[in-house]
Structure 1
Amino acid sequence: MAAVSTSLRSVPSSASPLRPLRPSLFAAPARLLFSAGIRAVSPIRVAGPRRFCCRATSPIAGMAEKGKGKVEVFDSEEELAVSLAKYTSDLSSKFTSERGAFTVVVSGGSLIKSLRKLVEPPYVDSIDWSKWHVFWVDERVVPKDHDDSNYKLAYDGFLSKVPILPGNVYSINDALSAEGAADDYETCLKHLVKSRVITTSDKTGFPKFDLMLLGMGPDGHIASLFPGHPLMNEKEKWITFIKDSPKPPLERITFTFPVINSSAYIALVVAGAGKAPVVQTALRDSQNSEKLPVQLVSPEGELTWFLDRDAASKL
């Protein structure tokens, strides 16, 4: 146990006190828009948790059959955030009901902003936050109060506003080197697998997180897995480190693709016109022999793209 204690980092004691959970009705789903022309379509019910998808009349909808996942396009980033909150809340209900825990992996960047509706009614009062276990798909090796810290970003914008148990928030040990922090975080995950907080994939044996909430860089990078970098090909490790990141800061830790792709659900959240060319490359058939990292996201479970109108403008 001593080997993993440094990874079990808690939300600082300055966080607001836990709020009692109150039953509340789910908000109505956001209007869903879909296709290259951003035209409205009628949502339909699908099996499993309360979800909405589009009728497969759009050429984009057919991409789900090609292994590229479901694609949901929204008229604005605000509508995207509303739908993402419902999607996350529904999966929270599903997994807490089925196994009494919900393992959620978040990334940095604009993803945390897109989770903002979860800290508002009805979700802040209806989600059973005590069952959440929160992890990071990657982290910059900087102090937790540093502006580059993904932990700080998530704490300021999300964690400090919801009553997740401090002991269920797993951040890196920022006192260690990049290599040491990666090893320590992997040891932490192995402990949580052994204690059955995290399940494992029957297909791969890698940890199987319930939900990964991922953003994407304008170069197509996912987590801290960058185009053309050797770490894209890592097949054995759960967590690894990088000391030559193309984006500062140079030192980071990151989940590897085998762990990312063992997930039960992945939401790829992309907004903004600056990312439209990469979205086009990822979702349209590409003849490029060298794949972008985002094109390697292929979970054994379900992949859903959450795009705003600008990000989908080239589809």
Structure 2
Amino acid sequence: MNAPRVEVHDDAPALATAVAGELLNRLAEVQSAGGEPHIALTGGTIADAIHAELARLAPASDVDWSRVVVWWGDERFVEPASDDRNERAAREAFLDHVDLDPAKVHPMPSTEAAADVDEAAAAYSREMQEYGSGAFDVLMLGVGPDGHVASLFPGFPQLDVDDRIAVGVTDSPKPPPLRTSLTFDALNRSKSVWFLVSGEGKADAVARAHAEGTDRHDCPASGVQGTDETIWFLDREAASRL
């Protein structure tokens, strides 16, 4: 496994611009090689900023958006119109501003599409088996102050699930409590894993994730690596304890 690379940017806006530009370049590279890139999006403040930059920079890029496949690493199990939905935020900031093929955008089920989080997880697993490529070209992940990634939280039983693509979460310590998340097994199939972290409040989690011997049960962010590369995109505050 390749050692993680760390990129430190001055602040959150600089970080967002850098990540957006790098993603556009990566998508164009995959397409120029004849591939159809599969990406997995995340939620959160820095993700929202990155999505806005993607929408701003997209018109000048060489990306054929009709040949981009979009997934999510986790989702809040709420109504589709809820402000808590990662999908809604991504659509408003980015996805609705580029010419994606709707059939290639794969949101996780909402409360209107599944009876509970376990049914939502099973449905998403089947969708990935049918339409997925087997590995994301780029998986983007935020990191919580407690070190969680996607909706895999420290000490939770979902951390040990190794026979499913996605799992349901019913008691998330961060509201809303009901969520669906990809498992470590699914996340670690990604070719490129990009951690997107900004702010002093995340600095301790970043340091713990990089410390030798950290257990993924204590800091889930330490348990995800790309098969080709792992990049931590940080602003100076998030990197302050490395």
TM-score normalised by length of structure 2: 0.92
**Aligned partners of 1:246 and 1:289: how far apart in 2?**
17
**Aligned partners of 1:289 and 1:119: how far apart in 2?**
34
Match of 1:119 in 2: 55
Q: Give secondary structure in 1 for the equivalent of 2:33.
A: helix
- Larger proportion of helix: 2
Q: Give secondary structure in 2 for the equivalent of 1:266.
A: strand
**Contact 2:192 2:229 (8 Å CA) reproduced:** yes
- TM-align CA RMSD: 1.8
Greater RCO (CA < 8 Å, at least 6 residues apart)? 2
Q: 2:230 aligns with which of 295, 303, 311?
A: 303
Question: Could you list the per-position Cα deviations for residues 49-96 of structure 1 after superposition, in whole angstroms to 9, with x for gaps in the alignment?
Answer: xxxxxxxxxxxxxxxxx9550000011212211211221012101211
**Contact 1:225 1:254 (8 Å CA) reproduced:** yes
The alignment status of 1:312 with 2:234, answered yes or no, reads no
Equivalent runs, 1:102-181 vs 2, <5 Å: 102-110=37-45, 111-121=47-57, 123-126=58-61, 127-174=63-110, 175=112, 176=114, 177-181=116-120
Match of 1:90 in 2: 25
**Contact 1:238 1:255 (8 Å CA) reproduced:** yes
After superposition, the Cα gap between the structure-2 partners of 1:246 and 1:68, relative to the gap in structure 1 and judged at 3 Å, is farther
**Aligned partners of 1:266 and 1:288: how far apart in 2?**
19
The alignment status of 1:188 with 2:123, answered yes or no, reads no
Q: Structure 1: which 5+ residue stretches go unaligned?
A: 1-65, 199-206
Q: Give secondary structure in 2 for the equivalent of 1:112.
A: helix
**Aligned partners of 1:279 and 1:75: how far apart in 2?**
16
After superposition, the Cα gap between the structure-2 partners of 1:70 and 1:84, relative to the gap in structure 1 and judged at 3 Å, is same
Question: Could you list the per-position Cα deviations for residues 273-310 of structure 1 after superposition, in whole angstroms to 9, with x for gaps in the alignment?
Answer: 11111111122335679541001112222100000011
Question: Could you list the per-position Cα deviations for residues 135-158 of structure 1 after superposition, in whole angstroms to 9, with x for gaps in the alignment?
Answer: 110011111110111111111111
After superposition, the Cα gap between the structure-2 partners of 1:290 and 1:215, relative to the gap in structure 1 and judged at 3 Å, is closer
The share of aligned pairs that are identical, in percent, is 34
Q: Structure 2: which 5+ residue stretches go unaligned?
A: none
**Aligned partners of 2:186 and 2:193: how far apart in 1?**
12
Name the aligned partner's letter for residue 120 of structure 2.
A
Match of 1:261 in 2: 188
Equivalent runs, 1:197-236 vs 2, <5 Å: 198=133, 207-236=134-163
**Aligned partners of 1:289 and 1:262: how far apart in 2?**
17
Segments of 4+ moved more than 4 angstroms: 286-290
**Contact 1:266 1:304 (8 Å CA) reproduced:** yes
Name the aligned partner's letter for residue 140 of structure 2.
L
Instruction: Indicate the structure (1 or 2) with the bigger Cα radius of gyration.
Output: 1
TM-score normalised by length of structure 1: 0.71
Match of 1:101 in 2: 36
Q: 2:6 aligns with which of 60, 68, 71?
A: 71
